[in-house]
Structure 1
C-alpha cells in the first residue's frame, strides 16, 4: 500500500528542510526497485511492457488481460511509494471480474528509468494511457482510469486535459480512491501540523506548482462520470479531501464513504462490488449524454 505517503506527510521537518533547499515537487515520490510480487504469483496472466515517453524515459508496466469475456479496461495509477509490484493487490481482483488492467511505474520507480518529479509523473501518466489505447485488442472497450492516493491526484489533471482537448476515445469513468485535493493544499496542511513548520506553511507550499490542484480541475472532467472514494479512517489523507473533490466535481458523480485504512479499500468485497457497479452503469454514458 502507499506507505511512502505516510513517510512524506508525517515528517514535515524533513519536508520543510528539503523544500527550502530545492523547492521541488519530487518530495511527493518515494520509489524503490524491489520486486515484491509478480502477477503470476496471484494466478494472473500478464505481459511485461516497456514504453517510451516523449522526453526519452522508458517506463515499465504490466498488462493484465481480463479473464473470460472482457467488459472493459482499467488504467491504474498507483500511490507514491515503492512500485507496481507492491500495489498490484489493489487491482488483482479486476481481471477475474472481466476487466483488463494496465498499470505503469512512473519514472524512477521499479524498472522505469529517470528520476521522479511532478511534471515527469504527469507526462508518464499520459504516455501510459496513450500506449493502452494503441493496444489492438483493447480498442472499442469501455475505458476507466483508477487513481489511488498520489495516483488519484495525477488522474485528475490527466482526465481533465483529455476531456478539455476532446481526445479520443472518450473516457467512460474516473475513479479516485484516497486522493488528496491538491499538491499544494496537502503540503500546506501537513506543514501546519508541526510547530516548527507552521509559520512556513504558506511560503514553502508556494514552491509547489498550483497548476494541478484537483479541486480546481475536477469539474472539467464532466460529463465523464466520476467516483470519489474516501475513508473516514484514512490517517494519511484526511476524509475532508475526498469530500472537497466530490463537492467540486460536476455531475454525473458518486461518492463512496469507506472505513478502511489508507489505500486499503479493495480488501473489502463490498467496495469492489460498488466500483464494478459504477463501471457497469457508466460504460458508454459520457458518449450518450
Structure 2
C-alpha cells in the first residue's frame, strides 16, 4: 500500500509538471514560428509582388505582399497557417495570381520580419491592418478572404466583421481549443488555453458565399472539425472533401484550382 501510495503521488506530480509546461509553452506550441527572417518577394522568386510594412493598432510592424489585381479580377486576402512564411508559399501565390487575380498576403507578427509576438488578439489586429490596406485599394466586392489552417480562424473573424465578397477556408476548425482538446485528451485544455479562435461562434455573422476545403486524412485538424463548422455556416456554401488529402498537401489534389473556380464564379 505504501508503494502504491508513493507511485500515485509521483504520477500526480509528473502530471502536474507536464500540464504546467504545456500551460507555459502553449503559445510556442500554437505558433511554431519558422526560423526564417525577412525575405523580399524578389529574393523569393516572386518579383510580381510588392512588399509593404503596415502598422497594427497596437504599433507592431507587419509585412504584407501585394500583387495588384488586374481590372475586373478579384483580390485574395490571404492568411497563412501557423507554421508558414510567405516565401514558402510562393508556388501557390504564383498559381493564384497567374490569371490576373490580385493578392494581399499577411506575415503575422513575429513571423519572417514582422515585429512582435503572436497571440489571437495580435493576429486579429494584424489582419485588420491588412484588410484596411486592401480596402484602400479595392472595393469590398472584389475582396476574397482565404485562410489556411490557423489562418482560417483569422479569415473567419475578418469576414464576420468586415464587408468582403467571398470566404475560402482551407483545413478549418471550430475553435483551436476544440482541436487542442482532441489532441490532449487528458489535459484540461478548456481551462488553460488562452488563444481560442472561436470560428464556431463567428461563422454565424458571415453572410457571403463560403467554400470549405478539407483533406479526409488530415492528421492535424481532422475533417470532422471542418464539417462541423460547415453545418454552422449560412448558405450559399460548398464543402469540398479531398479523399486522399492530408493537411499541407491539398494543392496536390487541386485545392488552388478549386478555390480559383469558386473565386471566379458568381
TM-score by length of 2: 0.84
Q: Does 1:34 align with 2:21?
A: no
CA RMSD, 1 decimal = 2.6
Structure 2 counterparts to residues 29-68 of structure 1, below 5 A? 29-34=31-36, 39-40=41-42, 42=45, 44-66=47-69
Shift of the 249–188 alpha-carbon distance from structure 1 to 2, 3 Å rule, reads same
Shift of the 14–151 alpha-carbon distance from structure 1 to 2, 3 Å rule, reads farther
Structure 1 match to 2:119: 117
**Would you say the 8 A contact 2:67–2:102 is kept in 1?**
yes
Shift of the 208–232 alpha-carbon distance from structure 1 to 2, 3 Å rule, reads same
Structure 2 match to 1:75: 77
Q: CA deviation at 1:19?
A: 3.6
Structure 2 match to 1:239: 223
**Would you say the 8 A contact 2:40–2:51 is kept in 1?**
no
Structure 2 counterparts to residues 221-236 of structure 1, below 5 A? 221-222=206-207, 224-236=208-220
Q: CA deviation at 1:239?
A: 1.0
Q: Does 1:157 align with 2:157?
A: yes
Question: Which residue, out of 238, 241, 249, partners 1:254?
Answer: 238
Q: Does 1:95 align with 2:97?
A: yes
| Alignment partners' CA distance in 2, 1:96 and 1:232 | 28
Question: Which residue, out of 174, 177, 201, partners 1:216?
Answer: 201
| Alignment partners' CA distance in 2, 1:110 and 1:36 | 5
Structure 1 match to 2:6: none
Higher alpha-carbon deviation: 43-52 or 145-154? 43-52
Shift of the 123–70 alpha-carbon distance from structure 1 to 2, 3 Å rule, reads same
Q: CA deviation at 1:266?
A: 2.4
Q: Does 1:276 align with 2:256?
A: no
Unmatched 5+ stretches in structure 1: 1-12, 163-169, 193-197, 283-289
Unmatched 5+ stretches in structure 2: 1-15
Q: CA deviation at 1:246?
A: 0.7
Structure 1 match to 2:108: 106
Structure 2 counterparts to residues 166-245 of structure 1, below 5 A? 170-192=163-185, 198=186, 200=187, 203-209=188-194, 212-222=197-207, 224-245=208-229
Q: Which has the larger radius of gyration?
A: 2
Q: Could you list the runs of 4 or more consecutive aligned residues of structure 1 that deviate by over 4 angstroms after TM superposition?
A: 35-39, 41-44
Shift of the 188–15 alpha-carbon distance from structure 1 to 2, 3 Å rule, reads farther
TM-score by length of 1: 0.77
Number of equivalences: 249
Q: CA deviation at 1:261?
A: 2.4
